Amino acid sequence: MNKKVSWGVLGTANIAVKKVIPAMLAGELTAVSAIASRDEESARAAADSLGIPRYFGSYDALLHDPDIDAVYIPLPNHLHLEWTTRAAEAGKHVLCEKPIGLNGDEVRDLIGVRNRTGVLIQEAFMIRTHPTWIAVKEIIASGRIGTLNAVTGFFSYYNDDPSNIRNDLEKGGGALLDIGCYCVNVSRFVFGNEPTEVSGLIERDPQSGIDRLSSSMMRFASGHSTFTCSTQLVPYQSMIFFGTKGRLEVQIPFNIPVETTTNLFVDDGSDLYERSLEKIEFEAADQYTIQGDVFSKAIMERAEPDYSLEDSFGNMSVLDAIFRSAKSGRAERPEVL
Ligand SMILES: NC(=O)c1ccc[n+]([C@@H]2O[C@H](COP(=O)([O-])OP(=O)(O)OC[C@H]3O[C@@H](n4cnc5c(N)ncnc54)[C@H](OP(=O)(O)O)[C@@H]3O)[C@@H](O)[C@H]2O)c1
């Protein structure tokens, strides 16, 4: 294998063209060698504007390119299982956008695909490799905020465009799969285990049927996590971690800025007007560049990916249980593998 892993991209998705590909192009171990679209002209335009050497008018054609080692899949959610499977069967390692499937059963299928094909498959939860999130975990482990007992999160934006994939139920739209998945993910990350039961409340958009306002309470062995997410509210992001001795808050937790420093806030609560608040600054870092390089390194070293499909299954089965609870009106237990 070359000094860099040769990547292909399936689809000219917004997130890929605007954020992830430019970030991956800056990676030390990552080369973006090809892009495919259902429409050859779109593929050509994206390749030209991003400086990608090859383009294809179908996803299949890219998967048959022997010079591609790995693919990044930023397709709509309902296509993640199909194209991750097809890429793995073509011998390509796969980094697929979140949520990697529509439910736990799809992730279970992908675990079978990975075991059968021997390629690496990872869900693109870019926050897991960002230095700020690694620091959050370290600060909590250091005991600085005492024993972590409660987590609370909020993630919202306003988007009621009927042509957007997030507003199409058939394509896996809705708040929980699009952004609630992050609140579940970081709760599991900081507690370091799975919730034993969860409750959910869901309000659906009367036209599209997607969940546009969803909230959950999750019981972990050592505390509680609650969150609300919405696709039709003022844009806002917050994750706060409460311990017996302090509170830790991540600024813009899911879209950590690329060009400016990031802040973590720690407060021991001695002054309710926040005069005891301490700001910890982090160097600017691009989570998509880091994610690409960490996955490329795992490919080169034939190591396990940083975020396993078993972890993805845990996340997805919590989301499944939230959906079940919203229907049943009772707390539900997430399925375990
Ligand atoms: N990690 C993050 O920070 C982050 C942020 C945003 C989104 N995402 C995830 O990335 C994925 C893409 O999101 P996005 O908003 O960028 O999507 P998007 O702009 O709507 O792009 C999706 C792409 O999929 C391709 N496609 C194939 N079949 C399609 C179909 N039936 N309907 C629509 N598009 C189809 C299209 O590419 P061609 O026409 O070129 O084939 C389209 O450009 C989602 O899974 C989302 O959850 C992740």
**Residues 192-240 pLDDT 10s:** 999 999 999 999 999 999 999 999 999 999 999 999 999 999 999 999 9
Substitution site in 55, 97, 164 for ligand 1 pocket (most atoms within 8 Å of beta carbon) = 97
Substitution site in 58, 59, 75 for ligand 1 pocket (most atoms within 8 Å of beta carbon) = 75
- The pLDDT of residue 302: 94
Q: List residues bridging with 230 in a β-sheet.
A: 156, 213
Report yes or no: 61 and 79 within 8 Å, Cβ to Cβ: no
| SS3 label, residue 261 | coil
Query: Given a cut of 60, is residue 1 above it in pLDDT?
Result: no
Identified catalytic residue from 4, 19, 92, 98: 98
Give the H/E segment covering residue 132.
helix 131-142
| Residue whose CA lies nearest to ligand 1 atom number 24 | 75
97: CA distance to ligand 1 center in Å?
9
| Residue whose CA lies nearest to ligand 1 atom number 5 | 15
Q: Which residues have any ligand 1 atom within 6 Å of their CB?
A: 11-15, 37-39, 42, 74-77, 79, 97-98, 124, 126, 165, 178
Residue 59 neighbours by CB under 8 Å, 6+ apart: 10, 11, 36, 38, 83, 86
Give 182's pLDDT tier (boundaries 50, 70, 90): very high
Q: Which residue spans of the chain are classified as CATH 3.40.50.720? A: 5-125
Candidates 81, 43, 46; CA nearest to 59 is 43
CATH of the structural domain 5-125, one choice from 3.30.70.260, 3.30.360.10, 3.40.50.720, 3.20.20.370:
3.40.50.720
What number does the ligand 1 atom closest to the CA of 43 have? 40
Q: Give tens-digit pLDDT for 162-177.
A: 999 999 999 999 999 9
Q: Which residue spans of the chain are classified as CATH 3.30.360.10? A: 127-288+317-328
| SS3 label, residue 60 | helix
Q: Which two tokens stand for residue 163?
A: 């042509």
> What is the DSSP annotation of 282-309?
E----HHHHHHHHHHHHHHTTPPPSS-H
CA angle 283, 289, 294 (to 5 degrees): 105
74: CA distance to ligand 1 center in Å?
5
Q: What is the mean pLDDT of residues 288-310?
A: 96
Burial of 167 (0-12, 13-18, 19+ CB in 10 A): buried
Substitution site in 9, 10, 14, 159 for ligand 1 pocket (most atoms within 8 Å of beta carbon) = 14
| Residue whose CA lies nearest to ligand 1 atom number 10 | 74
Candidates 293, 244, 209, 262; CA nearest to 4 is 293
Q: Which two tokens stand for residue 171?
A: 């394509």
| Residue whose CA lies nearest to ligand 1 atom number 43 | 13
Candidates 11, 51, 16, 61; CA nearest to 31 is 51
Looking at 29-166, which runs of residues are DSSP E strands? 30-36, 54-56, 70-73, 93-96, 121-123, 148-158
98 is known as an active-site residue: yes
Substitution site in 9, 10, 12, 15 for ligand 1 pocket (most atoms within 8 Å of beta carbon) = 15
Q: Determine the Cα–Cα distance for residues 73 and 119; give it in Å rounded to an integer.
A: 15
Q: Give tens-digit pLDDT for 248-283.
A: 999 999 999 898 998 999 999 999 998 999 999 998
Q: Determine the Cα–Cα distance for residues 257 and 182; give it in Å rounded to an integer.
A: 17
What number does the ligand 1 atom closest to the CA of 172 have? 45
Q: Which two tokens stand for residue 214?
A: 């969803």
For the entire predicted model, the pTM comes to: 0.97
What number does the ligand 1 atom closest to the CA of 59 have? 41
Candidates 172, 175, 190; CA nearest to 96 is 172
| SS3 label, residue 137 | helix
CA distances in angstroms from 285 to 7, 18, 97, 239, listed in the order given: 21, 16, 20, 19
CATH topology of domain 127-288+317-328: Dihydrodipicolinate Reductase; domain 2 (3.30.360)
Query: Given a cut of 70, is residue 2 above it in pLDDT?
Result: no
| Residue whose CA lies nearest to ligand 1 atom number 27 | 75
162: CA distance to ligand 1 center in Å?
15
3-state secondary structure 162-214: CCCHHHCHHHCCCHHHHHHHHHHHHHHHHHCCCCCEEEEEEEECCCCCCEEEE
310: CA distance to ligand 1 center in Å?
24
For the chain, percent of residues with pLDDT exceeding 70: 99
Q: What is the mean pLDDT of residues 157-164?
A: 98
Average pLDDT, the chain: 97
Q: What is the mean pLDDT of residues 141-150?
A: 97
